[in-house]
C-alpha cells in the first residue's frame, strides 16, 4: 500500500467520519433526512452517518455509492445494524450506476464539495430522479461574506490535497439551481465550532419538475 492510499484509507476516512459526525451536523441531518421517502438513493453514502435518520415507514428501498471502499464498509456495517437491505456500491457521482427515473429521493450530504465535476454530478442525480422527485442536500461551501471568502480562496489549494479534494468555494444553492432544480432553501448558517472559512453550510430541497 502506497503512502497516498494509506493516508486515504486509514487516516482520511476516519477524519471524514469524525468531522461529519459532530453533534451540530448530526442535528441538521436529523432535520433533513427524515424527509426522504419512496425509493431512496444516497450519493457519498460512505460511513453510513445518515442511515439512523431515515424513516423506515417512508422508505421503500435504499441504495447508494461512494468511491472510498473503507467508508463503504462502514456504510454496509451500519445497514446491517439497522437491519434493512441496502444496495451500496463503489462508484462516483459523475457516472451513477442506476437507470433513469429510478428514485423518488436523492440524498447528498457533505459530498458536492469533493466531487470532480459538480455540474455533471448534479445532472446525474437529476437523471436518476423520477419526475417530481426530490434532492435533499446538506453541504458546506462558499461563504457569503468577503472576509471568509478571501481565506477560502487562499486555503483551498492546500486544503483540497489534504482533505480528499474538498473544495471551500463552491456555491451550493446556486449550483443546485443551475442544474435545473427548483430549490427550497431550508437553512444556511456558519457552524458554531468551525472557522468561518470552513463552516458555511447550506441545506434544502431541490425538486425535479415533472417531465
Q: What does the pLDDT read at residue 46? A: 85
Domains and CATH numbers, the chain: 3-207 (3.40.50.150)
Q: What does the pLDDT read at residue 69? A: 84
| pLDDT band, residue 42 (cuts 50/70/90) | very high
CA distances from 202 to 17, 22, 24, 26, 92 (A): 19, 16, 13, 14, 22
pLDDT mean over 192-209:
93
For residue 3, with 0-12 CB atoms within 10 Å meaning exposed, 13-18 middle and 19 or more buried, which class applies? exposed
pLDDT mean over 158-164:
87
Higher-pLDDT residue of 19 and 115 is: 115
pTM above threshold 0.85: yes
| 135-151 residue pLDDT tens | 999 999 999 999 999 99
Nearest to 42 by CA among 83, 78, 5: 78
| 79-131 residue pLDDT tens | 998 889 899 999 999 999 999 999 999 999 999 999 999 999 999 999 999 99
Residue with cell 486555503: 155
| pLDDT band, residue 14 (cuts 50/70/90) | low
Measured between alpha carbons, how far is 172 from 180 in angstroms, rounded to an integer? 13
Measured between alpha carbons, how far is 119 from 116 in angstroms, rounded to an integer? 9
Q: What does the pLDDT read at residue 7? A: 44
Amino acid at each position: 500500500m502506497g503512502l497516498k492510499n494509506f493516508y486515504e484509507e486509514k487516516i482520511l476516512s476516519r477524519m471524514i467520519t469524525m468531522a461529519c459526525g459532530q453533534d451540530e451536523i448530526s442535528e441538521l441531518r436529523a432535520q433533513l433526512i427524515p424527509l426522504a421517502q419512496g425509493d431512496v438513493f444516497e450519493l457519498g453514502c460512505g460511513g453510513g452517518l445518515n442511515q439512523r435518520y431515515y424513516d423506515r415507514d417512508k422508505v421503500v428501498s435504499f441504495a447508494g455509492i461512494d468511491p472510498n471502499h473503507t467508508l463503504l464498509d462502514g456504510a454496509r456495517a451500519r445497514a446491517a445494524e439497522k437491519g434493512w437491505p441496502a444496495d451500496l456500491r463503489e462508484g462516483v457521482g459523475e457516472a451513477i450506476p442506476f437507470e433513469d427515473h429510478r428514485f423518488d429521493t436523492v440524498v447528498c450530504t457533505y459530498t458536492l464539495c469533493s466531487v470532480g465535476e459538480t455540474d455533471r454530478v448534479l445532472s446525474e442525480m437529476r437523471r436518476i430522479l423520477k419526475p417530481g422527485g426530490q434532492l435533499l442536500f446538506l453541504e458546506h461551501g462558499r461563504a457569503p461574506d468577503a472576509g471568509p471568502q478571501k481565506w477560502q480562496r487562499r486555503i483551498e489549494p492546500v486544503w483540497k490535497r489534504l482533505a480528499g479534494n474538498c473544495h471551500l468555494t463552491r456555491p451550493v444553492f446556486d449550483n443546485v439551481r443551475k442544474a435545473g432544480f427548483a430549490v427550497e432553501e431550508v437553512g444556511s448558517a456558519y457552524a458554531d465550532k468551525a472557522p468561518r472559512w470552513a463552516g458555511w453550510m447550506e441545506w434544502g430541497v431541490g425538486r425535479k419538475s415533472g417531465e
